[in-house]
Amino acid sequence: MNVAQSIVAMLESLGVDAAFTGSGQGSGTMLFSFAESKQIRTIMTRNEQAASFMAYGYAMISKKLGVTNTQGGPGSFNVISGLSMGLNGSFPMMSIASFAPKKWRGMGDLGEVSGLHRTADSHALFSAITKKSYVIEKASEVCDLFEDAVNVAYGGRPGPVHISLPYDLAGLENPRHRNIELKVAPILPREKDVLLFAEYLAQAIRGRKKMIAWFGNGCVQSNAGAELLEFVERFQIPFLTSMDAKGVIRDNHPLSVGMPGICGDPGAKRAFREAEVVLAVGASFPKWQTWMFQRDLFDRKILMNINLDADEVDKVYKADFSMVSDARPAMKMLTEALAARVTVTEKAAPEIDRHCFGTIDYAGPKVHPGQLSRLLSELLPDRAIVLGDAGSHMIWMSDFMQLNGGQSYKNPGSFGPMASHTNAAIGFQMAAPDRRVIVGCGDGCYQMAGFELMTAVEHKIPIVWIVYNNSEFNIIKHFNLLVHGEEAMNRLPGPNFAEYARICGANGHRVERLEQFEPAFRAALASDMPTVIDVVTDENCLVPFKHYNDPDPRDTSNPLKI
């Protein structure tokens, strides 16, 4: 068994069943080894950046290692965006790239990135964007190094690792191949922290303090939905869900007041402002969800923060009570401890004021993106995975979709590269072949990376891409107008994406009126081939931005029109 075969065997032993690769001479031995695997389905992408996004999506849903394999140098540098998303979002990933043989380093080997004699230093680069970067120097050390890399990727707060494999070593016999062990212990709360939380919450409930829970992406990653639901229902606590936690509890739950933040729901802001106690679980308090890091957000409130990563607890807002733990065991233990102290019989009835339940007054000639998003949610299959790429469409979808059938909604996170989820969709579908994957992307996102449609056609992966086509970088235009009073460099004339899809061998539908969308979407769901639905949306519709200090529209005594 050579080194490349040994690496593939170790990936198989971890349950990895998909990998995403570019091509190249240096990575050739690894390509042959992946091709020999009967377990791992390897997807050759048109661009390595797409491979990194696909690996990210695969890791997010499957919780397995999201693997990329690339030619060293420029090929490997193309995976930077996807690995950075994995680092920011806490997903286990592994990048494997060919590397110059030791005997030729510094001589100017093709694509050399040793850092010698004015070559780029890939080890330093990947050290900066992963949890750890490795260079294999001996065939005999492969399994030891690989085992360490896997445990680093999964340990604590998960994230990506990078392995540089000199291409002269890849074909050598591995004299010490062995099975590797994953030695990652779960992060459980300290009993004293659980009891401290339970005691304070019991006092707050007895004292009738206004409470609200704030659920973030850590709850989704922990699969804590059932535990969260039991907690809020048992103690009748209204809750917020961040954009990337949408769907962790169904949107039409009577205790759900919606999404916080500058593009969030009016009722969510109102409920948060009135709260005296906030229990945050798996939340990182990103910019847009905290009304642009509003400094006094938790003034005169008690913040109780549960997070997997101790560094996240006080990163943005100082917690009054903190617990370092995975969300699922923390909520299970907290519910048990609190139930022993207090019984709640009175039903909470928070005021529900959410975009997804409101009316949209529109009589324009195109498709309103909010109406499109609302109709999409009505047509979604149960357990669908909905992806919003970076842009105004992501906000329209998070505000106006309802996820009530076990669906998930994912967005590009705080790192937020455009086109990430346009391509990550293939990784999501590989990880969850029994669920439908639907992408909402802008025409800007799609033109950056839509050529991976051909990858989906090649492998018959039935992704549905819905292009919110307004022929511009819409959200940037509105920011420019708000800040500068004018816009520049935002117009983006593009092709008919439905015709493009058909040329590539996929299904293509053009939607110019809202009533045309349902038959197009139903046809897409009925097909086993990928589909692009090109929807002509109105570029003048404004996403519902509201700052934290904006007046409440119910206050008719305030003459300020918002």
Query: How do residues 12-26 score in pLDDT, each as one tens digit?
Result: 999 999 999 999 888
Domain ranges, residue 303: 191-339
The reported pLDDT for the residue numbered 558 is 38
* Mean pLDDT, residues 135-146: 96
Query: How do residues 322-340 score in pLDDT, each as one tens digit?
Result: 999 999 999 999 999 999 9
The reported pLDDT for the residue numbered 27 is 83
Give the chain's length: 562
Query: How do residues 437-460 score in pLDDT, each as one tens digit?
Result: 999 999 999 999 889 999 999 999
The reported pLDDT for the residue numbered 90 is 94
Whether residues 323 and 440 share a domain: the answer is no
Q: How confident is the model at residue 398 (pLDDT cuts 50, 70, 90)?
A: very high
CATH of the domain at 397: 3.40.50.970
Whether residues 33 and 74 share a domain: the answer is yes
| CA-based nearest residue to 281, from 324, 327, 250 | 327
CATH of the domain at 273: 3.40.50.1220
The reported pLDDT for the residue numbered 108 is 86
Q: Is 550 within the bounds of a domain?
A: no
Whether residues 126 and 15 share a domain: the answer is yes
Whether residues 381 and 509 share a domain: the answer is yes
Q: How confident is the model at residue 553 (pLDDT cuts 50, 70, 90)?
A: low
Query: What does the H/E/C string look like for 337-380?
Result: HHHCCCCCCCCCCCCCCCHHHCCCCCCCCCECHHHHHHHHHHHC
Average pLDDT in the chain = 93
Q: Is 372 within the bounds of a domain?
A: yes
The Cα–Cα gap between 331 and 225 comes to 10
The reported pLDDT for the residue numbered 218 is 95
Question: 3-class DSSP state for residue 223?
Answer: coil
Whether residues 374 and 235 share a domain: the answer is no
Whether residues 227 and 260 share a domain: the answer is yes
Least confident range from 24-28, 191-195, 436-440: namely 24-28
The reported pLDDT for the residue numbered 111 is 86
The reported pLDDT for the residue numbered 557 is 42
Most distant pair of Cα atoms in the chain: their distance? 80
Look at residue 559 and tell me whether its pLDDT is greater than 80: no
Residue with tokens 């959410």: 354
Would you say the C-alpha torsion 251, 54, 124, 8 has a positive or negative sign? Answer: positive
| CA-based nearest residue to 77, from 120, 110, 46, 26 | 120
Whether residues 146 and 230 share a domain: the answer is no
Whether residues 335 and 390 share a domain: the answer is no
The Cα–Cα gap between 319 and 323 comes to 10
Q: Is 234 within the bounds of a domain?
A: yes
* Mean pLDDT, residues 425-437: 97
18's tokens: 């998909």
Q: Is 548 within the bounds of a domain?
A: no
Query: How do residues 245-303 score in pLDDT, each as one tens digit?
Result: 999 999 999 999 999 999 999 999 999 999 999 999 999 999 999 999 999 999 999 99
The Cα–Cα gap between 408 and 62 comes to 13
Would you say the C-alpha torsion 40, 44, 48, 53 has a positive or negative sign? Answer: negative
The reported pLDDT for the residue numbered 561 is 32
Other Cβ atoms closer than 10 A to 502 = 14
Q: How confident is the model at residue 562 (pLDDT cuts 50, 70, 90)?
A: very low
Whether residues 38 and 107 share a domain: the answer is yes
Whether residues 296 and 373 share a domain: the answer is no
Name 208's Cβ contacts closer than 8 Å, sequence gap at least 6.
none
Residue with tokens 């816009």: 487
* Mean pLDDT, residues 224-236: 98
Look at residue 32 and tell me whether its pLDDT is greater than 90: yes
What is the percent of the chain where pLDDT is above 70?
98
Q: How confident is the model at residue 491 (pLDDT cuts 50, 70, 90)?
A: confident
Whether residues 446 and 494 share a domain: the answer is yes
Angstrom CA distances, 457 to 58, 68, 213, 271, 520, stand at: 18, 20, 43, 47, 18
Least confident range from 41-45, 65-69, 265-269, 358-362: namely 358-362
- Please report the beta strands in 107-153, taking only residues with DSSP state E, as ranges in sequence order: 132-135
Q: Is 349 within the bounds of a domain?
A: no
Answer whether 544's CB lies under 8 Å from 475's CB: no
Q: Is 216 within the bounds of a domain?
A: yes
Q: Is 346 within the bounds of a domain?
A: no
Amino acid identity of residue 146, one-letter, is F
Q: Domain tally for the chain? A: 3
Work out the angle at residue 14's Cα, subtended by the Cα atoms of residues 8 and 16, and round it to the nearest 5 degrees: 65
Whether residues 308 and 406 share a domain: the answer is no
Look at residue 482 and tell me whether its pLDDT is greater than 90: no
236: left (phi over 0), alpha (psi -120 to 50) or beta: left
CB-count burial class (<10 Å; 0-12, 13-18, 19+) for 489 = exposed
Look at residue 550 and tell me whether its pLDDT is greater than 90: no
